[in-house]
Amino acid sequence: MWVVAGPPGAGKTAVARLLLARLRPVPALLDKDTMYGPFVAATLAAGRRPPGEREGPWYDDHVKRHEYDGMTATAREIRSFGCPVLLSGPFTQQIHDAARWQDWVRDLGGDPVRLLWVRADAETLRQRLAGRASPRDTGKIADFAAFAARMHLDREPRAPHHTVDNRLTAPAGLGQQLTAILARCPN
């Protein structure tokens, strides 16, 4: 089991695609936005919430916990049949709290669960979010300082992890970093 985590705009999709190309057998990809994007849009509309609201107390209580519960249950079910899984999403709360991480690993079906944290800084996120111009990012961009603070950009995860540096100033490319990580932890 692999988890690719990091803030929106960090480059999780790019890292996940490169990782999937290197792993054998290829894991089932469970990407939060692919699995729940249309559902979230409909839930926000039904709740008369702004379409770009993807963070904050209302979203966390009414949407995010259900997204993550669904992803967790789906990953556990797929793994129960012996199939590898790669989850891609922010997972900010799970990775920054060691006890919560252990509970989540248990809920995912137990070890091994390998975390790749996609590191990004505020300037990188601001440029990438603005560049992709997605409606789901409007709330993040509107109050960027609050968004960046919630993402814990300057804190390494408390969970055991490997860091993939995807800042604009990263010293090595993603492929080179993943090759080095996989050499240390073959699947």
The predicted-structure confidence for 54-105, as pLDDT tens digits, reads as follows: 888 999 999 999 999 999 999 999 999 999 999 999 999 999 999 999 999 9
- Ordered structural domains, the chain, with CATH: 2-184 (3.40.50.300)
- The dihedral region occupied by 121, where left means phi > 0, alpha psi between -120 and 50, and beta the remainder, is beta
3-30: pLDDT as tens digits? 999 999 999 999 999 999 999 999 999 9
pLDDT above 70 (res 186): no
Contact 2, 8 (CB under 8 A): no
Contact 135, 33 (CB under 8 A): no
Q: Once rounded to an integer, what is the mean pLDDT over residues 159-186?
A: 94
Q: Once rounded to an integer, what is the mean pLDDT over residues 136-145?
A: 88
Global pTM value: 0.93
Residue 21, burial from CB neighbour count under 10 angstroms (0-12, 13-18, 19+): exposed
